[in-house]
Amino acid sequence: MTTIAAQPYEYELPEDLQCCALVIIDMQRDFLELGGFGDALGNDVTRLQAIVPTVKQLLEAFRQFNLPIIHTLECHKPDLSDCPPAKLNRGKSSLKIGDAGPMGRILIDGEPGNQIIPELTPLPGEIVLTKPGKGAFCRTDLELQLHRKGITHLLFTGVTTEVCVQTTMREANDRGFECLLIEDATDSYFPEFKTATIEMLRAQGGIIGWTTTADEVISVLSPVLSTKV
Instruction: Please list the active-site residues.
Output: 26, 131, 164
Strands 11-12 and 3-4: antiparallel
Q: For the packed helices 191-201 and 166-174, what is the interaxial angle rounded to 10 degrees?
A: 10
Report whether 38 contacts 131 (CB < 8 A): no
Residues 6+ apart with CB under 8 A from 3: 10, 11, 12, 13, 220
Looking at the DSSP bridge assignments, the partners of residue 208 are none
Which residue stretches of 24-71 are H helix?
Answer: 29-32, 37-40, 46-49, 52-64
Which helix (H) or strand (E) element contains residue 216?
A: helix 214-226
What CA–CA distance (Å, rounded) separates 86 from 81? 13
Report whether 213 contacts 155 (CB < 8 A): no
